[in-house]
Structure formats: structure tokens, C-alpha cells
Structure 1
Amino acid sequence: MKSAAFGVLLAIQFLSRLPAPLACPWTPATRRWAARVYPLVGALLGALVAGAGTLLQPLLPTPLLALALLSLWVALTGGLHLDGVMDLADALGSNAPLEKRWAIMKDAQVGSFAVLALVFLLAWKLALLWALLDAGASPWGLVALLALGRLGGVGLLVTVPAARAEGLAHAWQQSLTRVDLTLAAALPLALLAGWPGGAWLAAGLSVFIIGYGLAMRRVFGGINGDIVGAAIEGGELWLLLIAWSWWSFVTA
């Protein structure tokens, strides 16, 4: 039970800016539990954003509400995964040999491709969130969506090898098996059970992670922490698109 509790705190510290000021032991057991509760942390973040949406919805017009919720969404994560998107965009945009791409990804400087990726990612998220709210979708759907996004990160860690035997992604992988992925999937699948279009979201996430994982193996030879973070952001955007498509064309 102590490993499970530390695992929850570890996941909160890694995935959010929520206060968890306790030093957690970095052991195989705590890493396994942290990965298992990644979706739980996502659901918590989604609930905080959705709760704010419920309070602000009567007060703000839809465009401002969507912007407020996205701002809170980014603030709660501290932009952690956005950093991965930017590093990955600079590396891919360089069109350089493999070793140079790795060097660019590790470089702290921000390039033009990173800025473009950040702007378009947030613009698309804002537009899709706006469209969903404008169509009458409940902000509480974000609970399942953010949980699924982090499940995608666990799926990538379990199914795609690290490109190099170093870094956080490699360290996590030494402790994880498909059993951990199955346990991590329990909460998101339970949240989707009674949600219209839930099966489409689950299937869509699977397609995204498989395609993304294959692409990263081809381009980089595997994954690292930045690639996993970018997968969470990209997965959330993909899920927002699926949710909007379902709400607009199937339930219309």
C-alpha cells in the first residue's frame, strides 16, 4: 500500500503542477504504480477543468469560456507535455541525420518549428473545445478525454522501446509490463462505458498510439520522454477531434 500511495504522488508530480510536496522513492514498485494511475491523474485534471467550466459557463460567452478552460488546462500541467511537442517539432523540422535530430531535441533553445507547432496545437485545441461547447457538449467529457490521453502515454511506454538506454522513458520501461497497461486502462474504459461515442474514442486512441509509435520507431529508432509527452498532447488533440466529429455528425 505504501508503494501505491507513493506511486500516486509520483504520478501527480510528473504529470501536473498540483501541490504534492513529498519526496517519493524512485523504485520499480513506485514507478509501476505511478504508470497505473496516470489516467487517474488525467481524470483529476479533467475534473478540475470541467468544474471550472460548470462555474463559468453561465458567466462567459463560449469563446471566452473555451479560452479560460484551455488556459487552466495548460496551467494545471505546467506546459510539461507542450515542451515535448516543441522539442519534437524542432527535431523533425530540421530534416537532419538521426544524431543531429537527437542533439536538436536535447537543445534547450526554441526554434521556429517549435513555435509553429505550439501555436497550431493550441489553436486547434481551442477551436475544437469551442466547437464542442458551442454544440452543447458537457465540459465533463474532459474527464474521460484527459484520462485517455495519459493512458496513451502508458501504452507508448509499454509497447514501443526506448531509442536509447538512458533517460526517463527508458527508466520507466524497466519496470512496466502489459499487466500495468491493462490496470491503467481500467479507469478510462470505465469512464467511457456510459459515454456516447466512448467506443470511438477508445478505438481512435488505439489507432493514434499504434501509428505514432510506428512513426517514432522509423524516424528515431524508438521513444524518449519528449516523444511520450508529445504523444499525450497529440492524443488529446486527436480525441477532441473525434469527440467533435461524433457530437456533430452522429448525434446531430
Structure 2
Amino acid sequence: MTQKGRPILAAFQFLSRFPVKAELDFTPELLKQSVKHYPLVGAAIGLAVWVGGVLSAQALPVFPAAVIALILWVWLTGGLHLDGWMDSADALLSYRSREKMLEIMKDSRVGAMGVLACVLLLLLKASLLTSLLAAGSLPAGAALLTAPVWSRWFMARAMSKWPTAREGEGLAGLFRGLKAKDTVQAAISALVLTAAGLSLTALLPGDGPGLLRLGVYFVAAPVLTAAAGSLAAGKICSKLGGLTGDTYGAMNEGLEALLLVLAVVVFQTA
């Protein structure tokens, strides 16, 4: 294993269940080096979910196919970000003090707000995947090759731009000192991967979304991610005094859903 390859393998091992067989020591330095490869992990997850959804739709009605695609999506992430979504919902919707909210996030148990937030998020994602698969395999591919890429790019941005809530403790503390160039490299990677993914859906035979819609989505996806993600991060910081590992995952989940909503709006008449 080359030294340059270790951060890529670390990103895949940390963020997914892809069978990456490598013995890695997850030091803070390696974790920070791996961040620039987060969009690549998102692209791999999106590609796998797209293929799973399209194949399922060949044998099943659209809604069951969408649910199977969503199950695959959750499995590929190991529920890592969903766990952060639920913990963040339990804490931020508790209207407690900052200290109590941080304590709630540490609790391994899931409360009522976390369960409700998870159910509603999965229902939303299932409905959006249904709409995209109904519009065609190519519109679904355009969305799935884009949304997981930019949501993971924003995690990299959040790690470098906003402070941590626990002053270096917890998972978020391992990424302290992340260099700005790493987030820039993540952004470049996200742009290249998005261009490649959307180009693929434009070149494949079939009823695609059209170049104009693909261009709109290519521009709108990163802009919406940066704007909505920054708003969410700012709101969370105002309550917690910073971000945590759970909130990184929560923002990833929320942005994925938001970018799927954007895809449905852009591609629904394709």
C-alpha cells in the first residue's frame, strides 16, 4: 500500500462498508488527510445505489425498488450519518441548555425526537427516490451521482470552517487543524466527480434529462449545498458553541435529502 493510497482507503473504511481490506491506524493525521477524498466515497456510494435501484426497478414497481435502493444506501454507510442525525435531533430539539444538549449527544440511547426525525427523513428519501426512478434511470443517476458527493464535501468544509463544540474532545476533535487546502482539494474532487457523473448520464442511451437540466443541476447543487449547509452549521453553532461528529453526520443526511429534492424539481419533467 503506497503512502498516497492510505488516505483514500481510510476515507472508504471510515465512511462506508465497502470491502476495503487494509490495516490502518486511524491517527488524527491520517483522518485529516482522508477528508479530501470524502467526495470520492460519496460518488462510489451513489453509483452503487443507482445501480441497485435501476436493477430493482426492472423486476419490481418503482416504490419497492426505491425502498431497496434506500436500504442499500443505509447499509453502505453503516448507518453512521443516520446515527448522527438522530442524536442531533434528540439534542437540538430538546430545547435544553448547551451542556445538556452535548450530554444528550453522548448518550447511546435514541429518544423520541431522534426516532421521529429518522422515520421522516427515510420517508422523504424513499419518496424522492421513487420520483426520480419514475422519471427514468438517467435522471435518477444524475441525482445519485451528485447528492452524496456534495453532502460529503460539506462535511470537509464544516470541519475546517467552524469550531468544535467540545474543545477538541470527541470525534470532531480528531479533525482539528484541518488545512484549508484539503477542503479546496475536496471541492475540486467534487466538481470533477459531478462533471463525470452528469456526463455519463448525458452520454448513455435512453431518455435523459437533457443538457440544460444537467447544467442547471451542476451549478445549483454546490451553491445550494454551501448556502444551506452554512446556514445549518451557523444555527447549530449558535446552540452548541461549535460542531460535533454527530452534527457532521446530521448535515450530511440533511443535505443529501435537500439535493434529492432539487433533483426532483429540476428533472421531474425530463
Regarding TM over 0.5, the answer is: yes
TM category, shorter: over 0.9
Q: Which amino acid aligns with 2:172?
A: A
- Please give the alpha-carbon distance, in whole angstroms, between the structure 1 residues aligned to 2:6 and 2:170: 21
SS state of the match for residue 20, structure 1?
coil
* TM-score, L = length of structure 2: 0.87
Q: Give the aligned CA root-mean-square deviation in angstroms.
A: 1.7
The Cα of 1:55 is off from its aligned counterpart by: 2.4
Partner of 1:103: 103
Q: Which amino acid aligns with 1:150?
A: R
For structure 2, list consecutive stretches of 5 or more residues without a partner in the other structure: 199-213
1:43-86 CA-partner distances (Å, limit 9, x unpaired): 11111111223322321211111111001000111111100011
Partner of 1:216: 236
Q: Which amino acid aligns with 2:145?
A: V
SS state of the match for residue 23, structure 1?
coil
Partner of 2:38: 38
Partner of 2:170: 167
Choose from 182, 185, 190 the match for 1:183: 185
* TM-score, L = length of structure 1: 0.93
1:4 and 1:33 in contact (8 A); partners too: no
Q: Which amino acid aligns with 2:127?
A: A
Partner of 2:80: 80
Partner of 1:71: 71
- Please give the alpha-carbon distance, in whole angstroms, between the structure 1 residues aligned to 2:70 and 2:51: 13
Partner of 1:136: 136
1:194-233 CA-partner distances (Å, limit 9, x unpaired): 7311101111101111101111110111101001011111
Quick check: 1:206 aligned with 2:226?
Answer: yes
- Please give the alpha-carbon distance, in whole angstroms, between the structure 2 residues aligned to 1:210 and 1:150: 14
Partner of 2:211: none
Q: Rate the CA distance shift 1:131–1:157 in 2: closer, same or farther, 3 A.
A: same
Q: Rate the CA distance shift 1:220–1:41 in 2: closer, same or farther, 3 A.
A: same
- Please give the alpha-carbon distance, in whole angstroms, between the structure 2 residues aligned to 1:124 and 1:177: 35
The Cα of 1:29 is off from its aligned counterpart by: 4.5
Q: Which region of structure 1 is more displaced relative to structure 2, 20-29 or 66-75?
A: 20-29
Q: How many residues align?
A: 249
Q: Rate the CA distance shift 1:86–1:50 in 2: closer, same or farther, 3 A.
A: same
- Please give the alpha-carbon distance, in whole angstroms, between the structure 1 residues aligned to 2:3 and 2:27: 9
